[in-house]
Structure 1
Amino acid sequence: MTNQPLSSNDLTKILIFILLILPSIFFVVGIIPALFLAFGIFMMKKSKDFSHLETAVRNYKYYVLIPIVGSILGSLGVVVFWVFRIDRFDSQDLAIGLAICSGFFTIPLLHIFLVKKLFLSPLKSHADWVAENGIFSGRNGTKKDSLDIVKSEGLRSFSVADELIKWAKLKEDGHITEQEFDDVRKKLLQKN
């Protein structure tokens, strides 16, 4: 299962995650977490190792925990401030302050849930495929082991000697390597 392309359901989850994270990027607070994920994807594609993406998601979660800690401290600060101001205590102001702090608490928690369920879990279930071919690739990107070096294979008649002379000239001019020349020579001599 890990070396198969992502299903349309998994691709939809990733697209929904991207659409849900766009507003936070628009309001600037989501730029750094998005950069973590983009860098993880870039490094995964470059080295073909899925662990880079897992590390990026882990760093994303740690960075998103900062507002959670801040909102908890802010909530405590709001409560302490309004409780000790007995002369002007207004429960509505306390409720507004706690509502704002709870918003700063729930949005990062929602982001942690979304990155885990809508981004990492679909990619992790297809880790080998994603590392080798990319996220939105439906086709296998690996190259064939035996390349079709001699393009004249489809032609009915050709002179093996003429082909060898052409390939030797390419080798002498430095256009192909010794290994490529040997592969072509073996292929041409096997045909006859």
Structure 2
Amino acid sequence: MANNSIQAAISKDKIKIVFQSIIGWALAIMFGLMSLVGLTQIEEGIDVAVLIFCLALTIYGVSLIKKAKKRKNLIRLFKTYSARLASDPTKSIDLLATSTGVTVDVAKKNITEMINRGYFTNAYIDLNRNCLVFAGETQPVQQANTMKTPNNQPQQEYITVTCGGCGATNKVIKGTVGECEYCGTQISGK
């Protein structure tokens, strides 16, 4: 299921966040202190190679901390983006950027990163329409609560349902069970 793959991708990143944070802070603190001590004793003949090694590990620790923070922010952004995209039938990146207060380029970059990390499964960015498209999606859902079907068939009533898996808002035919278009969790249109 798509929900399982999204949850697996997010869980994998959360584990990486913990390890990167722990290792990053340990390196930054331990070798940062050693670097400070080394800098104060440089006149006493401390080995410059050891000092450079300590500084390099301090910088590496800080970079791990920054990477962990970036992953954490991406997970937070995914929750925001998926909820906003779920309420927009066109999945417009322009509207998403406006509603989140970032530029269109930043929104595209974030969405691309989310797709690459497996947060949005079976999705791609349609550069012609500047929107996010999910596999099997032929056209955006109409805004109206009631949609006409071809050949004068009875109208189907759609209701808005919040996904229990990712929190996104979806439109489902009333009285049916569907799938969240973002994470694949089954949702009921009761």
Q: Same fold (TM over 0.5)?
A: no
* Band of TM-score, shorter chain: 0.3 to 0.5
TM-score, length basis structure 2: 0.37
Could you say which structure has the higher helix fraction? 1
Between 1 and 2, higher relative CO (CA 8 Å, sep ≥ 6) is seen in 1
TM-score, length basis structure 1: 0.36
Could you say which structure has the higher strand fraction? 2
